Amino acid sequence: MYQFNEEEYNARMTWYRDARFGMFLHWGLYSIPARGEWVRSVEQMPEEEYMPFFREFSASRFDPKKWAKEAKAAGMKYAVMTAKHHDGFCLFDSKYTDFKATNTPAGRDLVREYLDAMRSEGLKVGLYFTLLDWHHPDYPHYGDWNHPMRNHPECGNEERDFERYKEYLYNQVEEIVTNYGKLDILWFDFSYDWLKGEAWGATKLVNMVRSHQPEVIIDNRLEASGEGHGSLYYCDPKPFHGDFESPEQIIPPQGVRNVKGEPIAWEACFTMNNNWGYCANDHYWKPASMLIRKLVECVSKGGNMLLNVGPDGYGAFPPESSAILSEIGRWMEKNSESIYGCTAAWDIPKPDYGRITRKEGTNTYYVHVFENTVGPLPLTGFDRDRIESVRALSDGHEIRFADGFMVKDYPEIAFADLGPDPVLPDQTDYVLKVTLRG
Ligand code: GLC
């Protein structure tokens, strides 16, 4: 029987807290209609209208090695892919359903290929697994909050047996955690209405998962969704407690603290445009410079960032996503030291011009300058007498203190002299490494 144990918890969370940056992957049949992964629900589409995509799904440009290389080059340390999304279609070879990739023209287990490719690039691997299932006959249809047939009284639930559905869920999760080697993350999605915790058979499910995968990190959506907290937050861990909170499409304004006020693990997941699944008409891409700053923001508040890519119906990354990833990678190449193994600088307030991260358990801080100041840059919050050195992180060069007349009125503040050019060498985020004595 699994029970929360703080020591074991901290041990399994170590790599994850260090990693800070991962890739979310939403890919499935819905990538062909290309109107987002909720297309069946949003358009209340009967399954017959969805089946052409099943007969067509070829994965002809699915190249997981390329995915893995792009994730790695962007500086991501882990990836989480949808083994099954709400439509019920499985990218893995499940013996409990025919609605799976092996029965499409793709004809193979795509989860296995993804896992192999990610692992061979040295990335930690995760699978997303939906708790909902719009394909399964025993899942509530009529009157459900999100089922495509929710408004069809003729799809009533009298004959549906939720116990049978729970068994199906259990069996498939068991396949996932026993047939594919070590999984680093299991990302369940999501609880709503009465469907929460034990309604999913969560204790039994997690006991089974942890008996096969004692070190796997599980999200909090067996008890919550993109909103709401898990029982770790309430300092009352249930056997199916999430290991981290999973705020969605938002960065918590002040990080996440439990009810006792202690910082806890969280991961903000968000999209590069406005959709998780591939959406051909969604061109609202977040610029790479913005995403770099958001990554820094997450770390400066003690969290992780899981950034989504929605490959197209053939399995290729949208060119915009690839371009964004490589631009993030160029910044990470020089500055990832200020991300990995870093957390909030709890003792130093956020400066006007940017953010601060701190290498966990050390005297090393990273001052992220998003916007230059007029004249020398005040290292506010730092005890001037304790500063041993300041270096530009990108090339290691010495940054000296300014001592002109203009700083004389602020003797308690150390000012960094960034030179005569008012334009920052890196206009996205110029990072100063500040080392303190003692
Ligand atoms: C939501 C959606 C879903 C997406 C997930 C990612 O809960 O149901 O489509 O996969 O968020 O966090």
Q: Whole-angstrom Cα distance, residue 373 to residue 398?
A: 19
> Omega of the bond prior to 190 within 30 degrees of 0, cis?
yes
Residues 327, 73: Cα–Cα separation, whole Å: 10
- Which three-class secondary structure state does DSSP give residue 133? coil
- Residue 35 Cα to ligand 1 midpoint, Å, equals 14
Counting from 1 in the atom list of ligand 1, the atom nearest the Cα of 132 is 8
Average pLDDT, stretch 262-286? 98
- The pLDDT of residue 393 is above 90: yes
Q: Atom 2 in ligand 1: which residue has the minimum CA distance?
A: 189
pLDDT digits (tens, 9 = 90+) for 85-101: 999 999 999 999 999 99
Q: How far is the CA of 216 from the centre of ligand 1 (A)?
A: 20
Atom of ligand 1 minimally distant from the CA of 308: 6
CA distance 156 to 134: 14
Q: Is the pTM of this model over 0.85?
A: yes
Q: Label residue 320 exposed, middle or buried (CB < 10 Å: 0-12, 13-18, 19+).
A: middle
Residue whose CA lies nearest to ligand 1 atom number 12: 248
- Lining residues, ligand 1, CB within 6 Å: 26, 37-38, 189-190, 225-226, 248, 269, 276
- In whole angstroms, give the CA distance from residue 351 to residue 414: 13
- Name the pLDDT band for 247 (thresholds 50, 70, 90): very high
Q: Is residue 23 predicted with pLDDT exceeding 90?
A: yes
pLDDT of 107-134, one tens digit each?
999 999 999 999 999 999 999 999 999 9
CA of 189 to the centre of ligand 1 (A): 7
Residue 438 has pLDDT above 90, yes or no: no
Contacts of 198 by beta carbon, 8 Å cutoff, 6+ apart: none
Mean pLDDT over each residue of the chain, to the nearest integer: 98
Separation between Cα atoms, residue 250 and residue 253, nearest integer Å: 8
With the most atoms of ligand 1 within 8 angstroms of its CB, the residue from 39, 130, 188, 190 to mutate is 190
